[in-house]
Chains A and B, each alone.
Chain A
């Protein structure tokens, strides 16, 4: 069965500093990988996705992520965070074989706190 590990429950970063959120996955085939952001009491917004091709993917709001198959990782990065980036971040994995959509398996999330 597939699984996703986000080892950091909380991360505190100063505004303007760089950010890296870690994500490791376990999956037997080529996965579809996602990063979502959730503000309190809200649904999920897709930041970026990896399906195939270039292992460095660009997303919205200045985020990027790098897929490293050898490390089974898909870490999220941002060079300079803003106070509005404070939220819960979820890494997710889905089936990547064939067409159709499958339910996603989510990590437990990382709560990002921005210090002024």
Chain B
């Protein structure tokens, strides 16, 4: 149980385009979802927390207009990287919680901006 699916697993796109990443909880209701970013050979950094039906809470230093988060249902959250540039290239990982710990992580999305 507690499976989180993330899609796509890898995306390559041109600079200036927008990219949407989906995070789904397959077998539980995710009242809270989290988005993390991981640079190569580094740790995960929390970007934002989203609760179903509410606006996301962004961590300090994360541009909310650059990284749009939507959590419209109890099983789906999306992260849209708007007007992506090469410095946005990274590994993005979502996690989901049914209201408590532990969180359950997706397999991540590798984003490469050319």
- How many interface residues does B have (CB within 8 Å)? 27
**Across the interface, which residues of B come within 8 angstroms of A45, CB to CB?**
105
Q: Is the CB of A99 within 8 A of B44?
A: no
In the assembled complex, which residues on chain A have CB atoms less than 8 Å from the CB atom of B4? 43
A112 to chain B, nearest CB (A): 14
CA distance A44 to B93 in the complex (A): 9
Task: State the main secondary structure of chain B at its contact with A.
Answer: strand
- Closest Cβ of chain A: how far from B79's Cβ, in Å? 14
- Quote the shortest CB–CB distance from B45 to chain A (angstroms): 8
Q: Mark B72-114, 1 if CB is under 8 A from A, else 0.
A: 0000000000000000000101010101111111111010000
- B34 contact set on A, CB distance < 8 A: 101, 103-104
A51 lies within 8 A of B6 (CB)? no
A106 touches B32 (CB 8 A): no
- Partner of B97 from the list A101, A105, A106 (CB cut-off 8 Å) is A101
In the docked arrangement, what's the CA distance between A105 and B47, Å? 11
Query: Given A101-B100, A103-B59, A109-B43, 17 more contacts at CB 8 Å?
Result: A34-B102, A41-B91, A42-B107, A43-B106, A44-B44, A44-B95, A45-B105, A46-B104, A99-B100, A100-B32, A101-B34, A101-B103, A104-B44, A106-B45, A107-B43, A108-B42, A108-B43
8 nearest CB pairs, A to B: A101-B97, A103-B46, A43-B107, A44-B105, A106-B43, A43-B105, A108-B43, A106-B44
Offer 24 A-B interface pairs, CB within 8 angstroms, sorted by A.
A34-B101, A41-B110, A42-B108, A43-B105, A43-B107, A44-B93, A44-B105, A46-B105, A51-B101, A90-B44, A100-B32, A100-B99, A101-B34, A101-B97, A101-B100, A103-B46, A103-B49, A103-B59, A104-B34, A104-B103, A105-B46, A107-B43, A108-B42, A108-B43
